[in-house]
């Protein structure tokens, strides 16, 4: 008999790989943070001894969500203002608040709040684009969550840099610093086509090549962005990025609304990943990413919430539902973005976008034990004829009961194990008072 650290026997096991599989009466064995076996529970009992055995009678066990687009620390600006036009929002609220408040403490505390929210709603990895990366890394390390963090680059000054070269000079040494980190990955994150010159984008591409890094960027988020790019260069943003040599299987295009058939073809040909953020796109009236059309063309489509200042939460269950709903409505076809498609976008496709689908994103032998348990024994998910349907169309973030990252339990029956939630909320109230008094 083989000895392992942990065996979990859930009511349903949803491994995501192989596709369209729901296992019942199965258990999963974990050793040294990795999955060593998935077998019928009866057989598992015969083959393995374990330090800990957890039976989850009413739960689905599945891979943790990969939230593939966040600005985590912006949680501190959640709901500061809503229901106003984008440029009014940026010019009169968000940018002045950032200018006034951005600091290492803001980033650490805001990221910690975001991580607490993410763990409690089942996210085990997030792909972030913001400022003061070491402060965000610290919050992620303290919590034990997996994260990709972008070296953000602008041509314009912000509290974190003066110009493109300054952002690069400050950011690039971090690749060396974190290169062997088990849970942290760095990416290049040029903000958007309207804040980066062609020369800057070429510099970013070269840096990405040097550090073998992924690039993630807001692309074709709004109609205005596309119009401005055409007016300035005669090219649409995606076309322009292609001409500059940025598009490859290491490029993550975030938002991607108002898409032409040629752009779907180009995305497939260049093997980029697309990150769909349906709730942010709806709330800001940005447009619609044709997620199912991208998937049909073979493009990898992941799911992201965007920052809490524009969403206003980091809830991947709700985001899956919105992705399914929006696709059905916009394609006039209730069969598009099915429940299992939404679940795959929210897990495995996020890992693929980050080039980490050999490491996490599904529950198969050899992968990291990044897992979540969701309790379906609730009045809002009963009956549960099909757990995939219950998860996407009826379940709720508060039904996430347990979360493991690399085998470490970060949420234990709804309780955070690595973050003091009471102290966190007290601290956030202090930030709230400070920010709202100005």
Residues that bind a second copy (CB under 8 A): 76, 78-80, 82-86, 89, 113, 116-117, 120-121, 279, 281-285, 287-288, 308, 311-315, 318, 322, 324-326, 328-329, 331-335, 338-339, 377, 379-380, 382-386, 389-390, 393-394, 396-398, 421, 424-425, 428-429, 431-432, 435-436
Reading the block at residue 267, the tokens are 């995305």
Dist CA 92 CA 69 (whole Å): 24
CB of 42 to a second copy, least distance (A): 22
Nearer Cβ to a second copy, position 212 or 380?
Answer: 380
Nearer to a second copy, 81 or 156 (CB): 81
CB of 168 to a second copy, least distance (A): 33
Judged by beta carbon, residue 240 or residue 397, the one nearer a second copy is: 397
Backbone dihedral region of 132: left (phi > 0), alpha (psi from -120 to 50 degrees) or beta? left
| Least CB distance to a second copy at residue 39 (A) | 26
Distance CA 45, CA 43 (A): 5
Q: Which residue, 79 or 366, has its beta carbon nearer to a second copy? A: 79
Start-end of H helices in 237-356: 237-243, 261-270, 278-283, 291-296, 316-331, 339-345, 348-353
Contacts of 245 (CB under 8 A, 6+ apart): 202, 205
Q: Which one, 125 or 288, has the nearer CB to a second copy?
A: 288
User: Minimal distance in Å, beta carbon 413 to a second copy?
Assistant: 15
Q: How far apart are CA 278 and CA 286, in angstroms?
A: 10
Q: Which is nearer to a second copy, 365 or 429 (CB)?
A: 429
Minimum Å gap between C-beta 310 and a second copy is: 10
Distances (CA, A) of 326 to 331, 384, 409: 8, 23, 34
Beta-ladder partners of 404: 371, 409
Q: Tell me whether residue 22 is exposed, middle or buried, using C-beta atoms within 10 angstroms of its C-beta: 0 to 12, 13 to 18, 19 or more.
A: middle
**Residue 80 or residue 268: which is nearer to a second copy going by CB?**
80
From CA 142, how far away is CA 150, in angstroms rounded? 19
Task: With residue 140 as reference, give the H or E element that holds it.
Answer: helix 133-143
For 234: left if phi > 0, alpha if psi spans -120 to 50, otherwise beta; the answer is: left
Q: How far is the CB of 345 from a second copy (least distance, A)?
A: 14
Shortest Å distance, C-beta 302 to a second copy: 20
User: Tokens representing 395?
Assistant: 């379940």
The least CB distance from residue 37 to a second copy, in Å, is 29
Nearer to a second copy, 196 or 322 (CB): 322
Strand partners, 152: 189
């Amino acid at each position: 008999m083989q000895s392992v650290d942990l065996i979990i026997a859930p009511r349903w096991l949803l491994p995501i790989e192989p596709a369209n599989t729901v296992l019942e009466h199965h258990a999963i064995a974990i050793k040294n943070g990795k999955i060593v076996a998935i077998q019928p529970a009866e057989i598992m009992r015969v083959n393995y001894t374990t330090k800990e055995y957890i039976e989850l009678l009413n739960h689905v066990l599945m891979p943790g969500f990969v939230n593939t687009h966040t600005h985590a620390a912006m949680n501190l600006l959640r709901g500061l203002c809503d229901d106003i036009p984008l440029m009014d929002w940026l010019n009169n609220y968000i940018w002045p608040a950032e200018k006034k408040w951005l600091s290492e403490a803001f980033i650490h505390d805001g990221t910690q709040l975001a991580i607490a929210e993410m763990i409690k709603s089942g996210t085990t990895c997030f792909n972030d684009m913001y400022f003061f990366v070491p402060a965000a890394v610290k919050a992620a390390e303290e919590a034990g969550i997996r994260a990709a963090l972008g070296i953000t680059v602008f041509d314009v000054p912000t509290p974190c840099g003066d110009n493109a070269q300054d952002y690069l000079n400050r950011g690039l040494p971090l690749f060396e610093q974190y290169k062997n980190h088990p849970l942290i990955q760095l990416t290049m994150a040029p903000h958007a086509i309207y804040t980066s010159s062609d020369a800057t984008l070429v510099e970013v591409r070269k840096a990405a090549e040097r550090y073998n890094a992924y690039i993630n960027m807001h692309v074709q988020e709004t109609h205005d962005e596309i119009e401005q790019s055409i007016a300035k260069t005669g090219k649409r943003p995606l076309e322009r990025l292609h001409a500059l040599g940025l598009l490859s299987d290491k490029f993550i295009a975030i938002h991607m609304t108002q898409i032409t058939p040629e752009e779907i073809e180009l995305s497939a040909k260049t093997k980029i990943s697309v990150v769909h953020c349906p709730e942010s796109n709806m709330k800001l009236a940005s447009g619609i990413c044709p997620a199912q059309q991208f998937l049909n063309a073979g493009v990898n489509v992941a799911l992201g919430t965007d920052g809490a200042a524009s969403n206003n939460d980091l809830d991947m269950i709700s985001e899956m539902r919105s992705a399914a709903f929006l696709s059905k409505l916009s394609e006039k076809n209730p069969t598009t973005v099915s429940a299992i498609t939404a679940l795959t976008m929210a897990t495995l496709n996020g890992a693929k976008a980050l080039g980490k689908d050999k490491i996490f994103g599904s529950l198969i032998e050899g992968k990291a034990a990044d897992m979540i348990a969701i309790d379906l024994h609730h009045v809002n998910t009963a009956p549960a004829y099909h757990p995939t349907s219950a998860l996407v169309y009826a379940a709720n973030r508060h039904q996430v009961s347990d979360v493991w990252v690399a085998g470490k339990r970060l949420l234990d029956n709804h309780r955070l194990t690595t973050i003091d939630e009471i102290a966190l909320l007290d601290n956030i109230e202090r930030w709230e008072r400070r920010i709202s008094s100005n």
